[in-house]
Structure 1
Amino acid sequence: MKRIYFAFIIALPIVGCVNQPSQNPQKKIKQGIKGTITWLEGNLMPGPDSNIKAKEGKPVVRQIYVYKLVNVKETESEGSFFTKVKGNLVKKSQSTEAGDFYIQLPVGEYSIFVKEEKGLYANLFDGNSNINPVVVNKNKVTEIALKIDYKAFY
């Protein structure tokens, strides 16, 4: 009886480890977007006293809003923030403490926004005034880097 009890005690942690889901199952997406979100602020101008670490940014946890491709004409904004987006919201996700995110998406063209206190933030546009455009192709994961830099100056 003691041997069975001993074997059970030894095997339980091993079985527990085997059955645990991976730390971030989202990393296994087959199609969509993945990337990082970093926060940048302060003086990022080049010069002898420039702070290289500050230029790299700090990873942050933020909510990510994925819309079908949105043009500036389909939004309302106040300063750097979009207060109203008239496009179709496809998905919301959140980055990890390391700033990483993984979002499974169907094939298509999307606009990516980061939720901030004053509204949705995006700082990249294409030549047609589409906001932070990202293309997802069949069986591909598109990698992007989101930089929140409305408190930085260059």
Structure 2
Amino acid sequence: MDFQAVIVTLSLALFLQHQGIEGVARRPSGNHMPSPHYRPRPPSGVKATICVFSLTSDSQTKKAGRPGLYSAVETRLIRQVDTDDSGRFHIELPPGNYSVFTKKGKLFYATRRDEKNNIAPVEVLPGKMIRVECSVESDHAAVY
């Protein structure tokens, strides 16, 4: 193989690498408090809209009432996809740091934070699909 063929082959291999996030959107509700005789099952997946933004800190949002709800996210929307009926999703993304929200009507929802107050952060690594669990805002409170 000559040098040009090697470069083309390596470029194609990098292009074909799958990377991004995948997971399930769930709506937690009911009793999730573990006890010796009761092991709560994870809630089943639900249809939802997943929104991936550039990494977003708390100061880059507009809060909307209850904790975890936002009327606006002021960073760049990278991708928005709907899950399948069982809540599963798969989003190809370039390597980088992102924030993942679910959307309900015109509101965005996410509750997880890191130590720098970034909302629902996820780091996509080259050639890796990162598993993400998303919660969907619910009118029925979960008990932990």
Do both share a fold (TM > 0.5)? yes
- Shorter-normalised TM-score: what interval? 0.7 to 0.9
Distance 2:48 2:137 in 1: 14
Residues 20-75 of structure 1, C-alpha deviations (whole Å, 9 max, x = no match): xxxxxxxx98111111111111232234785734xx10210100000000000111
DSSP-derived class of the 1:40 partner: coil
When the two structures are aligned, how many residues end up with a matched partner?
125
> Unaligned regions of 5+ residues in structure 2, if any?
1-15
Percent of aligned positions that are identical? 30
1:153 and 2:139 are equivalent in the alignment: no
Q: What is the aligned counterpart of 1:63 among 49, 66, 77?
A: 49
- CA RMSD of superposed structures (Å): 2.2
- Compare CA radii of gyration and give the structure with the larger one: 1
Structure that is richer in helix per residue = 1
> Unaligned regions of 5+ residues in structure 1, if any?
1-27
Q: TM-score, normalised on structure 2?
A: 0.77
Distance 1:115 1:63 in 2: 5
Q: What is the aligned counterpart of 2:95 among 102, 107, 120?
A: 107
Q: TM-score, normalised on structure 1?
A: 0.73
Cα distance, 1:99 vs structure 2: 1.3
Cα distance, 1:84 vs structure 2: 1.1
Q: What is the aligned counterpart of 1:127 among 106, 115, 118?
A: 115
